[in-house]
Structure 1
């Protein structure tokens, strides 16, 4: 039997730089209220969201990713040619193939980097970060670009009172590279497929192929509507607050630290009530800075954690070297949590 030689990677990995892109158009709650019977006060009390960003036709998934990636590369001080892999998490790139990651890898100027998309909803950034860490330690890449990007405005039913106000667009990217000491902790991740109906797309793409509009959603003019995201709000809330708090605690335990050792908490920006409830359930000390980017960015799914991280660092609410707990959770249901050192 032949002996296979293993690649020699770095002992550890860390996030070296982060970048974000938010579309130019800012959409206040007043715009949402043009289509649903609600109020600004109700939206804020239920979600904490005041504004969100919606992409223009030119602000595609690829275009937003390129902008965020450029900022992340600059912050990391790493040239695009040194990127060995590009991992993109998204549910809103509507071409099944080729992967949008290949377009992004080309546009930013990588030297034939490996490139692929993953679909893990709001946990996608954590999944991508874990894959990047593995590549660097295994030795298949020296630097990896991880991108979370969404155009959820394309998947929003503006007539659905329960979800019309939730979603926004944007891209967040990080450069992950070698480290001499642990800076990305063990990942606690998993899935609960028995709860797949909790957050889902209203209509499967295959239903459009049949040609029978009887199963398809129609607008007031009788025209076929695009699929949208829908969720069972209360079920999601209970799962996030109680079950995901347990996952977050497991991530702390596996990293060998306690809540008192944290500087920053960056949960998926689902809504403010979930974030605040998780803080209470985890009993985070007052000194821990909590990301609440959802107020101005809305729920951007896979993009929410890197976007929130970028804003905290840009505003000075967090600083390089801080210890942060990050956790993403959403459709699947899937989740991923880890402890990282901020770039």
Structure 2
């Protein structure tokens, strides 16, 4: 099997910054409550000209430019999203068109908030099997299109944005085997369905929080073990940016106190499948992680599905 390496990352966020104080005028909430419950201070909301495609394209362009590859070098594009505007053509093909990428595999996957590590795994499998050499993997979401702005429990969470990875074939493998799974009996805990609130995002936050409290540490430890590493060797932890109360305790729970922990949820909110690549891109801009340093990526969400792997820090910043 051919190895896989992360070359570069990128991200994009809309211009509009929405502090907690703005939400106080919309629903019965306040800054103290939001910070205490989920840790969010502000988030970014898309404007009328921002779409899943335009945001995904911008993030992908940043990653591609940093990687040193040309659009003609890319032979696979995967977009993880649960908020695509079109059923067909898919988002991946529209992003490819905008970037000038042709003659390649282009596919979308929808695993909600855990979509990005699923997409990374699919790209790694294609590279390992010799079906692709350079893959562009994107997480892009416009959750505000599916937000109920009368629901105080969910409208304070959602935000928009995109992040991207460029993965390449390598003699040295720096992407561990994925550990993924699902809990179908909890599928209704996070949903966007025409049967619920007119196709708006709803969730049983307490059920998800309980699941992460009891199950997440054990699964995250298994991801690290599958990578052939000890928790003490992990340099960074990048979880799905859902709730600061879920993110911050994990390092201590799994014995990885030395790891740098991404806490982008505080300034970006919950961006579903975009949250991991966006949080990592922003973390790398302020943290000096050497190329190849092992980083734990793990996401959970609608389905209830989860996925994670250990990825080496990118060669290009």
Q: Into which bin does the TM-score normalised by the smaller protein fall?
A: over 0.9
Correspondence 1:238 to 2:210:
yes
Q: Deviations over 1:74-112 (max 9, x none)?
A: 111111111101100101113222211111111101122
Aligned to 2:234: 262
Output the CA distance in 1 between the equivalents of 2:136 and 2:261.
Answer: 25
TM-score normalised to the size of structure 2? Answer: 0.96
Partner SS for 1:15: strand
In structure 2, the gaps of 5 or more residues are none
Partner SS for 1:18: strand
Aligned to 1:176: 167
Out of 201, 208, 213, the position equivalent to 2:192 is: 201
Output the CA distance in 2 between the equivalents of 1:83 and 1:114.
Answer: 9
Post-superposition offset of 1:181? 1.3
- Residues 1-343 of structure 1: pairs in structure 2 closer than 5 A: 11-204=2-195, 217=197, 226-285=198-257, 287-316=258-287, 318-343=289-314
Aligned to 1:221: none
Cα RMSD of the aligned pairs, angstroms, is 1.3
Output the CA distance in 1 between the equivalents of 2:104 and 2:96.
Answer: 7
Q: Deviations over 1:198-245 (max 9, x none)?
A: 1112524xxxxxxxxxxx75xxxxxxxx52111111110011122122
Q: Deviations over 1:239-287 (max 9, x none)?
A: 11221222111111111111100110001101101112323322322x2
Q: Deviations over 1:3-37 (max 9, x none)?
A: xxxxxxx6200111100001111111111111211
Against the structure 1 CA distance between its residues 202 and 136, is the aligned structure 2 distance closer, same or farther, given a 3 Å change threshold?
closer
Matched residue count: 314
Partner SS for 1:197: helix
Partner SS for 1:36: coil
Output the CA distance in 2 between the equivalents of 1:261 and 1:42.
Answer: 36
Whether the aligned pair in 2 keeps the contact of 1:105 and 1:112 (CA below 8 Å) is no
Against the structure 1 CA distance between its residues 153 and 319, is the aligned structure 2 distance closer, same or farther, given a 3 Å change threshold?
farther
Post-superposition offset of 1:57? 1.5
Output the CA distance in 2 between the equivalents of 1:28 and 1:104.
Answer: 30
Whether the aligned pair in 1 keeps the contact of 2:67 and 2:166 (CA below 8 Å) is yes
TM-score normalised to the size of structure 1? Answer: 0.89
Output the CA distance in 1 between the equivalents of 2:261 and 2:101.
Answer: 34
Whether the aligned pair in 1 keeps the contact of 2:2 and 2:130 (CA below 8 Å) is no
Partner SS for 1:196: helix
